[in-house]
Amino acid sequence: MQIAFLIYEGLTALDIIGPYEVLCRVPEVDVRFVAKRLGEVSVDTRAFSIRAPHALADVPSPDVFVIPGGMAGTFAAAGDEEILSWVRAAHAHSRFSTSVCTGSLILGAAGLLKGVDATTHWAARALLESNGAIYTKERVVRRERIVTAAGVSSGIDMALLLMAELAGEDIARATQLAIEYDPQPPFDSGSPSKAGTKIVQLALAELQRWA
Amino acid sequence: MQIAFLIYEGLTALDIIGPYEVLCRVPEVDVRFVAKRLGEVSVDTRAFSIRAPHALADVPSPDVFVIPGGMAGTFAAAGDEEILSWVRAAHAHSRFSTSVCTGSLILGAAGLLKGVDATTHWAARALLESNGAIYTKERVVRRERIVTAAGVSSGIDMALLLMAELAGEDIARATQLAIEYDPQPPFDSGSPSKAGTKIVQLALAELQRWA
C-alpha cells in the first residue's frame, strides 16, 4: 500500500500533516512525500521548509494520494502542467484520490471534478465551482474514488474515514486513540454559521495575509 | 511576539504542526522553528524531514515556546544537556512554556515540572510522573506559565487557548474558523476510556512500532 503526499511551494502545513499523521499508521504502508522535484518546499508562511524525498516521476501510481491546499502557491500548482499530468495519471490507477482544503482546486484544475460533488475551504467555494465541481457543504465528501475535505484541519477527519476503508474500523479507531484525537476546542467557531459575521470577517482578513 | 517551535530528530510531526498552524496567526508574530543545529531533522517515521531555519543559540528568549513529543527521539532530546539548558533559559523569561504529547518529558527532564500538574500522551503517564510531575488527566493543563497538552492532536486545542491569551478571544475564534476546526471524527475513540480495552491494546501495539 503506497500513499503519496504531494507537497509544493506554498502549501499549508497542517493540510498535509493532519492526514499523514493518521495514514502513516496504515499497516505496511509505504509513505511517500513527493514534490515536483527533489528538494525543499516552503510552507505558506515561509516559517520552515519540508524536504521531499521523492520526485513526481518516482511515484507514478500510488494507491492513495493526498493533495494539500494553500494560498498563492496552490494557484501556481493548479497551473503547473507537470503537476496536473501527475495528478491525472495517478488518478487513473488510484484507489482514492483525495484533497484537503484548497487542494481540491488542483484536483479540479486536473479536470477530475467536472460534475462531481466536492468540498474545499469555506472561503474558496466559488473557485471550486469554477472548475465545474458541485460544491457540497460537508466536512468530508466521498464520491466513489474521489474524497475531498473542507478547510485545513478537516484532513484529520478525512484520513480516519480513509483509514477505516484501507485497514478496517478497529485500526482506524486505534489510530484515533494513538493520536489522542478527542477534540475539545475551547470555542465553537469552526464553521461560518457557528462563528457569526464578525468572526467570519476577521477570518477573511487573516486569510488575505498570505493570499 | 516571538514564538519558538522546537524540532529535534524523531519528533512527531503533528505535535508541532498543530500548534504552529494556529499560532502562526497571532498578529505580528515572529515564528521561529528552532533545532539544536541549523539543518534538517527527520520526523519519527522518517517519511520526511523539516529544515530548521534557526539554531537554539539564535532564539534564546522567545515569548512562547512549544515542545513536541515523539518516540525514541524524545528520550534522546530529554537527555541532551544542550537542549535542556535552552529549555531552562527560555523558561526563565517566557510568557508561556508549553509542550504537546511526550514533549512534557523534555520539560520534566529540564526540571520544570517538579510538583507541577501536567499532562502527556495517555500511554506515557508513568514516564511523566518519574520526572516529579503530577499527572493530570485533562486535554490541556495550564498551571501559571506552564501549559501541557495530551497526545499528538491535542496541541491544536492548546494553541487555541494560548491564542485567546495572546491575542484575544475574537482572534482565537477567527483562527479556529480560518483552519475550519470544526472536528467531526467518524469514531469516538480518542481517549482510552472511550475506546475500550481492545482498541487500547491495538493502539499500544501501533505505538510500539516506532518506540
How far is residue B27 from each of residues A46, B2, B166, B187, measured CA to CA in Å? 16, 11, 9, 35
A24 is an active site residue: no
> From the list A53, A182, A189, which residue is nearest B139 (CB)?
A182
pLDDT below 70 — which residues of chain B?
211
- The parent domain of residue B42 ranges over 2-186
Q: How many CB atoms lie within 10 A of CB A201?
A: 12
- For residue A205, tell me if it sits in a domain: no
B81 lies within 8 A of chain A by CB: no
CB spacing of B175 vs A200 below 8 angstroms: no
Predicted pLDDT at B209: 79
**Buried b or exposed e, range B163-183, using 16+ CB within 10 angstroms:** bbebbeeebbbbbbbbbbbbb
- For residue A68, tell me if it sits in a domain: yes
The residue count for chain A: 211
Q: How many CB atoms lie within 10 A of CB B63?
A: 17
Q: Which residues pair with A106 in a beta bridge?
A: none
The rounded distance, in Å, linking the Cα atoms of A151 and A49 is 21
> From the list A17, A172, A202, which residue is nearest B170 (CB)?
A202
- For residue A96, tell me if it sits in a domain: yes
CB pairs A-B closer than 8 Å: 234
Residue B8 carries which side chain, given as an amino acid letter? Y
In the DSSP assignment, the letter for residue A9 is T
- For residue A50, tell me if it sits in a domain: yes
Predicted pLDDT at B78: 97
Predicted pLDDT at A209: 79
pTM over 0.90: yes
B208 lies within 8 A of chain A by CB: no
- For residue B194, tell me if it sits in a domain: no
CB spacing of A21 vs B40 below 8 angstroms: no
- For residue B204, tell me if it sits in a domain: no
Residues in chain B with CB shorter than 8 Å from the CB of A49 are 50-51
Q: How many CB atoms lie within 10 A of CB A93?
A: 11
Q: How many CB atoms lie within 10 A of CB A145?
A: 13
Q: How many CB atoms lie within 10 A of CB B54?
A: 17
Predicted pLDDT at B208: 87
> From the list B24, B152, B189, which residue is nearest A47 (CB)?
B24
- For residue A206, tell me if it sits in a domain: no
The rounded distance, in Å, linking the Cα atoms of B48 and B26 is 27
What's the half-sphere exposure (Cβ side, CA atoms, 13 Å) at A123? 21
The residue count for chain B: 211
CATH number of A173's domain: 3.40.50.880
DSSP B99-143: EETTHHHHHHHTT--TT-EE---GGGHHHHHHTT-EE--SSEEEE
Of A35, A101, A166, A167, which residue is the catalytic one? A101
The total of structural domains in chain B comes to 1
CB spacing of A14 vs B17 below 8 angstroms: yes
Predicted pLDDT at A208: 87
What contacts A57, CB < 8 A, 6 or more positions away? none
Q: What is the pLDDT along chain A (211 residues), one digit of tens a residue?
A: 999 999 999 999 999 999 999 999 999 999 999 999 999 999 999 999 999 999 999 999 999 999 999 999 999 999 999 999 999 999 999 999 999 999 999 999 999 999 999 999 999 999 999 999 999 999 999 999 999 999 999 999 999 999 999 999 999 999 999 999 999 999 999 999 999 999 999 999 988 877 6
CB spacing of B174 vs A191 below 8 angstroms: no
Residues 139 to 168 of A: which have CB under 8 A from any B CB? 139-140, 150-154, 156-157, 160-161, 164
Helix, strand or coil, per DSSP, at residue B12:
coil
Q: How far from each other are the two terminal CA atoms of chain B, in whole angstroms?
A: 36
Contact A1, A65 (CB under 8 A): no
The rounded distance, in Å, linking the Cα atoms of B58 and B65 is 14
The rounded distance, in Å, linking the Cα atoms of A49 and B50 is 6
- For residue B200, tell me if it sits in a domain: no
Taking alpha carbons only, the member of B143, B147, B144, B114 closest to residue B128 is B114
